[in-house]
Structure 1
Amino acid sequence: MARKVVGFGEDDLRALAGVRSFERGLGYLDAVSGLEVGERSITAVVRGTDVYEVELTFGGDGLSGRCDCPYGQEANFCKHCVAVGLTVLRRAKTIPHQRAAARARSSGLEAWLSALSRDELLALVREQVAEDRELRRRLELRAAAARSDLSTVRDRIIALIDPRPFARYGYIEYADASGYARQVAEAASALRALTADGQATQAAGLAEEAIRVLGKAYREIDDSDGVVGEAAAAVAEAHVEACGVARPDPDRLAEWLVGTVLDDRDDVTDLDPLDYADALGPSGLARLRRLAAEALGRRPSGWAERYLVERLAKAEGDVDTLVALHAQDLDPSGATHLLIAEELEAAGRAGEALAWAERGLRDCAAETYIDGRLVDHVCVRYAETGRAADAVTVRRDRFRAERSLAAYRQLRSAARAADCWESERAAALAALDEDARRERGGRYGGPVLIDALLDDGDLDAAWREAADRADDRQWERLADMSREIRPAEALGVYLRLVERSKEPTGDRAYEHLAGLLLAARDCHRALGTEDAFTVYLGGLRTELGRRRKLMSILDRHGL
């Protein structure tokens, strides 16, 4: 019921905070005060080591929380957020009334403002401007823009994006990032207003200055929530809009774009030169391409340079340039070969695409790791073109190199499609048997041979190979798969695993132990020896009776 009223429940708080912070939050319920409820947010004060302000918001994106405690400033859902959330849930019955009261206050304020005369409103605004520095700066900016006072507008915009007032220690901390972001967003609004008022050229110039300042400042901001990045993106959008109206010199705009995109300090605006295609026109785009190519020539390994050339080539459908670009730096895993193949295939050049993918397999054949997507790509193309035997060859080569269960499964799938699994399986199992004899285990310790036999459902062979080779995981799976047809052998496995599972503690270990006991009980039932299980279980409960949590879990499972 509480979930429907407030939009979240205890499970949401526990999931966001983690067990430790959730439990610590329980100790702060008496420290919560000043609870204010809105439509989609709740604010409160929590008294801990200091007095902390907490805000919970909830809606379509789920529940989130902010707190200005040190842990909360690192973008964590802290114990103070938990305390506020739990307080709200315990007062769930009063929440609808508080929301209704908040709406009534808002409606009353709107009615009162509407009833004020012009002089009364002016007096009220002047009073607020005198008391609220941030409001005064915003209104000064709007006033300057309205009267085309560009000098003042520039000063106000630069003041809004100046990070220094928020950088108390030379760095904008998480708690101050949202305040700074609001000012940056206000600057973006002012730039758009300038463009709308016929001052697009001036707006473009100011936006470039703002982008420069933001790029320089961003590395010294804890923008864990991305709020500053969003506001900076709004500034970049205002610049695009201004350029679209002002139509600046295309060569000069191309030079500015390349310089900004390649500036290592600009990590915030994420400019896309193609957003400026209309403003650049054919000559500007040509200049942009030349500058990008020259920059890549000077620094072939530069990430930004490669991105710029790749972005322009993709936009123009210049596949050959893309292939040449990627071919300069081929990843030893084959990932780049695959990328080239996908670009060529998308361009309708399937033959060249497959040739690049096959080259990737050859170039990377000696590598320990090959991107599995490349192997899949080649095998799928072989299957589509009736080359099933070639697909088997590829899968066989990869299996010989990897000797994993996944590679065995892929070989099996390809060989069945080519109707040659019987012979391939014999060779594959022989290779895995050799590995097992050399004590070359699988991912979890036991031989891959046993995993392969189990995956094939060849239980008789799996039982033969398991002796002195299988690990506990494999023994348990073998018993699970065999208990209906070999209950006695499976029971022996389960009882042995129970003995090994007595020492570990914790919920997960106890649940696993309970699962083993349930399986053992099923075996006893199949054998008609349930009384023996009852005696065994009684002895086990006596032996481990001091573990209350284990006893509770056994009770829950009917053990």
Structure 2
Amino acid sequence: MDVTEEMVRGVCTDAVFERGERYLTEGRVREIHRVDTTVTAVVSGSRQYDVRVDLATDGFAPRCDCPYDGLGACKHVVAVLLRCVDDPPTDDGDRLDAALNGTDVDELRAFLREELVTDANLRDRFLARVGASTRRSVDELRTSIDRRFEEQNPEYDVVFEPSDFTQWFNLANEYREQGQYASAATVYRALVESLDDNMERVDGAYDHFSSAFSRALDGYVDCVTAAERNADAVTDAVAFLEERVTSGTPFLAEHFEKAAVELREKLGEQSDE
């Protein structure tokens, strides 16, 4: 679809639009690529920021790993969208399809396996896509999520900027789409625990981390409810939420308490059916 300046203005404030215009003029949009309607780019600011937008989605479904937590899209996203208005990147979708169609199946299989061997995140997504349940525990998943906090500011124990948890939310969503609700619940629980335990380290971008926490907690409750679990597993889920009310971050206690009540109510409704 064609992107217009009016459409871009509709997803940001006037002040952010002006900053995005300036970023584009200054040549800060780099490494821009497009496949079908998905555009990815690197935008140079105080550091290099990864941006992704979907030109076919209402509001463009923008994603940027910058610390912006104001209204609408950030200046980095706006700069990329304005680049799509003035000088749209070439769509590599047809080229990619042609390459895939022209590749020998065994060669493609060998390439995919080679990538899956060395990329644990891709391997998890692939196995989820083909319907395999996760073999990773909550603690194992937490290790990689906790590392994301440590990578943000390795010299201090304080986190000033948002962390990108997209890969775990995408993994959980992949499990949900395949009906693997227990596996999705495992991923969500790892996110919930990590966010809860690291929240007191956060000193900025509170809306970002609070939103990620709420999304993970809601996903956990939904997937525990949807999964075919035995009584012990259900009891464990409720106990986990209730335990976090007293042991977790104080200002998140109310969220855990409400989630525990919601889970008990949903499971009660299921038992009455």
What is the TM-score normalised by the length of structure 2? 0.65
Whole-Å separation in 1 of the counterparts to 2:177 and 2:270? 21
What letter corresponds to residue 107 of structure 1 in structure 2?
Answer: D
What letter corresponds to residue 103 of structure 1 in structure 2?
Answer: G
What letter corresponds to residue 58 of structure 2 in structure 1?
Answer: D
Select which of 147, 170, 176 maps to 1:165: 147
Q: Give the 3 Å change call, closer, same or farther, for CA 16–143 of structure 1 in structure 2.
A: closer
Whole-Å separation in 1 of the counterparts to 2:112 and 2:118? 10
Whole-Å separation in 2 of the counterparts to 1:135 and 1:64? 22
**Paired residues for 1:49-448 under 5 Å:** 49-71=46-68, 77-91=73-87, 98-99=90-91, 102-113=92-103, 115-117=104-106, 120-138=107-125, 153-155=135-137, 157-162=138-143, 163-168=145-150, 169=153, 173-185=161-173, 192-193=179-180, 203=182, 207=185, 213-219=190-196, 220=199, 224=208, 226=211, 229-230=214-215, 232-242=217-227, 245-248=228-231, 253=234, 257=238, 260=241, 263-264=244-245, 265=248, 267=255, 270=259, 271-277=262-268, 280-281=271-272
Secondary structure of 2:54's counterpart equals: strand
Secondary structure of 1:167's counterpart equals: helix
Per the TM alignment, residue 184 of structure 1 is displaced from its structure 2 partner at its CA by 4.2
- Residues 8 and 78 in structure 2, CA contact (< 8 A), matched pair in contact too: yes
Q: Give the 3 Å change call, closer, same or farther, for CA 139–254 of structure 1 in structure 2.
A: closer
Whole-Å separation in 1 of the counterparts to 2:244 and 2:190? 12
Whole-Å separation in 1 of the counterparts to 2:10 and 2:128? 44
Is 1:43 aligned with 2:40?
A: yes
Per the TM alignment, residue 167 of structure 1 is displaced from its structure 2 partner at its CA by 1.1
Whole-Å separation in 2 of the counterparts to 1:172 and 1:161? 20
* Alpha-carbon displacement from aligned partner over 1:337-360 (angstroms, at most 9, x marks no partner): xxxxxxxxxxxxxxxxxxxxxxxx
Per the TM alignment, residue 179 of structure 1 is displaced from its structure 2 partner at its CA by 3.0
Percent identity, aligned pairs only, is: 23
Q: Which residue of 2 aligns with 1:17?
A: 12
- Residues 158 and 210 in structure 1, CA contact (< 8 A), matched pair in contact too: no
Q: Give the 3 Å change call, closer, same or farther, for CA 257–133 of structure 1 in structure 2.
A: closer
Whole-Å separation in 2 of the counterparts to 1:210 and 1:180? 7
Whole-Å separation in 2 of the counterparts to 1:42 and 1:143? 26
Q: Give the 3 Å change call, closer, same or farther, for CA 153–174 of structure 1 in structure 2.
A: same
Q: Which residue of 2 aligns with 1:411?
A: none
Q: Give the 3 Å change call, closer, same or farther, for CA 90–112 of structure 1 in structure 2.
A: same
Per the TM alignment, residue 172 of structure 1 is displaced from its structure 2 partner at its CA by 9.4
Whole-Å separation in 2 of the counterparts to 1:144 and 1:91? 40
What letter corresponds to residue 82 of structure 1 in structure 2?
Answer: V
What is the TM-score normalised by the length of structure 1? 0.36
Whole-Å separation in 2 of the counterparts to 1:48 and 1:211? 32
- Residues 240 and 275 in structure 1, CA contact (< 8 A), matched pair in contact too: yes
What letter corresponds to residue 159 of structure 1 in structure 2?
Answer: E
Secondary structure of 2:231's counterpart equals: coil
Per the TM alignment, residue 80 of structure 1 is displaced from its structure 2 partner at its CA by 2.7
Whole-Å separation in 1 of the counterparts to 2:239 and 2:124? 33
Equivalences, count: 246
Q: Give the 3 Å change call, closer, same or farther, for CA 246–31 of structure 1 in structure 2.
A: closer
Per the TM alignment, residue 173 of structure 1 is displaced from its structure 2 partner at its CA by 4.8
Per the TM alignment, residue 104 of structure 1 is displaced from its structure 2 partner at its CA by 0.9
Per the TM alignment, residue 164 of structure 1 is displaced from its structure 2 partner at its CA by 0.7
Q: Give the 3 Å change call, closer, same or farther, for CA 107–280 of structure 1 in structure 2.
A: same
Q: Give the 3 Å change call, closer, same or farther, for CA 139–37 of structure 1 in structure 2.
A: closer
Per the TM alignment, residue 259 of structure 1 is displaced from its structure 2 partner at its CA by 6.9
Per the TM alignment, residue 176 of structure 1 is displaced from its structure 2 partner at its CA by 1.2
Whole-Å separation in 1 of the counterparts to 2:122 and 2:164? 17
Higher-Rg member (1/2): 1
* Alpha-carbon displacement from aligned partner over 1:157-208 (angstroms, at most 9, x marks no partner): 5423443121124659534132342344456679x54x8xxxxxxx59x95x
Whole-Å separation in 2 of the counterparts to 1:47 and 1:178? 21
Whole-Å separation in 1 of the counterparts to 2:72 and 2:139? 32
What letter corresponds to residue 265 of structure 2 in structure 1?
Answer: L
Q: Give the 3 Å change call, closer, same or farther, for CA 185–43 of structure 1 in structure 2.
A: same
- Residues 161 and 214 in structure 1, CA contact (< 8 A), matched pair in contact too: yes
* Alpha-carbon displacement from aligned partner over 1:414-452 (angstroms, at most 9, x marks no partner): xxxxxxxxxxxxxxxxxxxxxxxxxxxxxxxxxxxxxxx
Whole-Å separation in 1 of the counterparts to 2:45 and 2:187? 40
Q: Give the 3 Å change call, closer, same or farther, for CA 10–90 of structure 1 in structure 2.
A: same
Gaps in structure 1 of 5+ consecutive residues: 147-151, 196-202, 283-559
Measured on the aligned residues, the alpha-carbon RMSD in Å equals 4.3
Q: Give the 3 Å change call, closer, same or farther, for CA 89–218 of structure 1 in structure 2.
A: same
Whole-Å separation in 1 of the counterparts to 2:34 and 2:149? 31
- Residues 41 and 56 in structure 1, CA contact (< 8 A), matched pair in contact too: yes
Whole-Å separation in 1 of the counterparts to 2:122 and 2:236? 37
Whole-Å separation in 2 of the counterparts to 1:52 and 1:62? 20
- Larger helix percent: 1
